[in-house]
Amino acid sequence: MSRSIGGEAENKALVFLETQGFSLIAKNFLTPLGEIDLIGQIADVLIFVEVKARKSAQFGSALEMVTKSKQIKVRKTAQVFLQQHPHYQHAECRFDVIGMTGDDIQWVQAAF
């Protein structure tokens, strides 16, 4: 996914999540271990969100793009975030995925 398509998908995902009560804490949190697209909260739950987009489902769904290795990178990057932001260390954490295929948005809560 190109940077422009990825950025557009992340913005659409953020707007969608905000309608669900999501409050953004960080966007594109980057470490040498990886990147997390969106980090936010709904109530007392800290949510790390991976956003994937495809123009069509011809080659599979966007959700299928979140591989096991990507999940590991996101988890390790989340650990760095928690180390850098100790006031969140005791929060309940969740890893969600937003898959966008065309205009269809799928939100998988507690995806991994």
CA–CA dist 35, 78 (Å, integer):
9
**Which has the closest alpha carbon to 35: 26, 43, 44?**
26
Q: What is the pLDDT of residues 34-60, one digit of tens each?
A: 999 999 999 999 999 999 998 766 666
In the chain, at which residue ranges do the beta strands (DSSP E only) sit? 23-31, 34-42, 45-54, 92-101, 104-108
Q: What is the pLDDT of residue 2?
A: 47
Give 63-93 pLDDT, tens digit per residue: 778 889 999 999 999 999 999 999 998 999 9
Q: Are 94 and 109 in contact (CB under 8 A)?
A: yes
Report the 3 state secondary structure along 80-106: HHHHHCHHHCCCEEEEEEEEEECCEEE
Q: How far apart are CA 40 and CA 23, in angstroms?
A: 5
> Which pLDDT score, from 0 to 100, does residue 1 have?
47
Tokens matching residue 19 = 């309608």
**Amino acid at residue number 37:** D
